[in-house]
Amino acid sequence: MGIIKAFFGAVGGTLADQWQEVIEADSMSDTTVFAKGVKVRPNDKRNSNKKGTEDIVSNGSIIHVYPNQFMILVDGGKIVDYTAEEGYYKVDNSTAPSLFNGQFGDMLKEGFGRVRYGGVPSQKQKVYFINLQEIKGIKFGTPTPVNYFDNFYNSELFLRAHGTYSIKVTDPIKFYAEAIPRSSERVDIKDINEQYLSEFLEALQAAINQMSVDNIRISQVVSKTRELSRYMANELDEDWKNLRGFEVVSVGIASVSYDEESKKLINMRNQGAMLGDAAVREGYVQGAIARGMENAGSNSAGAAQAFMGMGMGMGAAGNFMASASATNAAQMQQQAAQKEAQQAAAANTWTCACGAKNTGKFCSECGSKKPEAASGWTCSCGKVNTGKFCSECGSPRPADEHWFCTECGHKNAAASKFCSECGNKRG
């Protein structure tokens, strides 16, 4: 029993007139992974097969396979022929299996060899279809918090993740043999997802832990869907792809939340990072003083009494405030000096013709001398001059001409007396 390609010049009522049965897949939704084949217009008056036996595919029947469908012809629960190519196929009980591999190449032959029917036909023949489209929107959520060590916070944190993932059948024969319950005529992903969701969540925890090892910040997990899909594929390839014939295509995390202890640790670390900036600390100190004065002024017992109390309090804490402000001021001056030094170093940096960046007068890579910075003004004849008249043609210096700094070579407006790049005075 097998199938052969059927070619038609016209499709429609002609099929019903010429062939005993026309079989197509039962309606398949976006989440349907498996459906039986049903007869097209079984009660149509033009259908010549009025006394067909149930569970028997009549010799000469036509099977219509649509795009992204994998059709299997089953006899007694075993696959006797299949096709991964769209089109029309005629059932011919006198032919051997044709095995139209389509996009799967020779991969299907090995699976077919393991599950093919090898005995006398059982007289229970059916046609089934497997959905080859990506099955999207499968929801997941971690039932308990997942541990995540974040090197930035140097802490073991715990998160919950919710989102969706998608799968795709990559070996339909293996999928039929290992994932589809026997005697099923229609299977939705939710019908078989309980076991796989449990395995998915186990793999998700392993993938999240791997992201931790790869030093991905916990706050960046929600934006790393592509990396997470790759991690998940690596974790599930053995159990899902190699054993069951389908794989994870994508993982989308809709939300990530942290437990209370993790929130406290994250907030503590963020506050510490902010207070590590001297300007932020000084603002906090001055803000505390201002709030104290404001509260004193609005004291219902009298501003004078409140300010007196505040003065006593300030007497106790004043030395600390003064010391803190002095420390902040010193650090701000140090930060400002470092910033100026960095800017000065950037201004003095020049790029040699060999590509090396330097700060001295000679290239540290090839020894070439630092090019002289352009200065003065350029006459219409092309001569660069420093005086009021061109030394080449005698033309006077234009009143609105720009000038070039002798230190850094920056081009400045004629009206400016100092270089806008490095501050050097115009020569």
Same domain, 232 and 287: no
Q: In the predicted model, is pLDDT for residue 382 greater than 50?
A: yes
Looking at the domain assignment, is residue 272 inside a domain? no
Q: In the predicted model, is pLDDT for residue 12 greater than 50?
A: no
Looking at the domain assignment, is residue 341 inside a domain? no
Q: In the predicted model, is pLDDT for residue 310 greater than 70?
A: no
The predicted structure's pLDDT at residue 242? 85
The predicted structure's pLDDT at residue 11? 45
Same domain, 123 and 160: no
Higher pLDDT, 143 or 94: 143
The predicted structure's pLDDT at residue 120? 44
The residue ranges of DSSP E strands in 40-144, in sequence order, are 62-65, 69-75, 78-83, 87-92, 125-131, 135-141
Same domain, 140 and 252: yes
Of 69-73, 293-297, 332-336, the range with the highest mean pLDDT is: 69-73
Looking at the domain assignment, is residue 47 inside a domain? yes
Same domain, 235 and 285: no
User: What mean pLDDT is reported for the chain?
Assistant: 75
Q: Which domain holds residue 229?
A: 135-263
| CA–CA dist 185, 34 (Å, integer) | 7
Same domain, 206 and 151: yes
Looking at the domain assignment, is residue 314 inside a domain? yes
Same domain, 297 and 416: no
- Of 131, 162, 180, the position where a domain reaches its end is 131
Each residue of 18-77: pLDDT tens digit?
A: 556 889 999 899 999 999 999 886 555 555 555 555 667 878 889 999 999 999 988 877
| CA–CA dist 108, 233 (Å, integer) | 21
Same domain, 22 and 117: yes
Same domain, 123 and 150: no
Looking at the domain assignment, is residue 350 inside a domain? no
Q: State the DSSP code for 9.
A: S
Number of domains in the chain: 4
What is the average pLDDT across 225-247? 82
| CA–CA dist 424, 427 (Å, integer) | 9
Cβ atoms of residues 78 and 69 within 8 Å: no
**Amino acid letter, residue 108:** L
How does residue 15 score in pLDDT terms, banded at 50, 70 and 90?
very low
Looking at the domain assignment, is residue 94 inside a domain? yes
Looking at the domain assignment, is residue 255 inside a domain? yes
Same domain, 180 and 296: no
Each residue of 356-378: pLDDT tens digit?
A: 888 888 888 888 888 765 556 67
C-alpha closest to that of 81 among 310, 65, 307, 393 = 65
| CA–CA dist 400, 412 (Å, integer) | 11
- Of 131, 162, 182, the position where a domain reaches its end is 131
- Of 331, 349, 376, the position where a domain reaches its end is 331
Q: What is the largest CA-CA distance in the chain?
A: 113
C-alpha closest to that of 205 among 138, 141, 260, 147 = 147
Looking at the domain assignment, is residue 77 inside a domain? yes
Same domain, 232 and 142: yes
Each residue of 89-102: pLDDT tens digit?
A: 988 877 766 777 77
**β-bridge partners, 258:** 159
56: Cβ contacts below 8 Å, ≥ 6 apart: 123, 124, 125
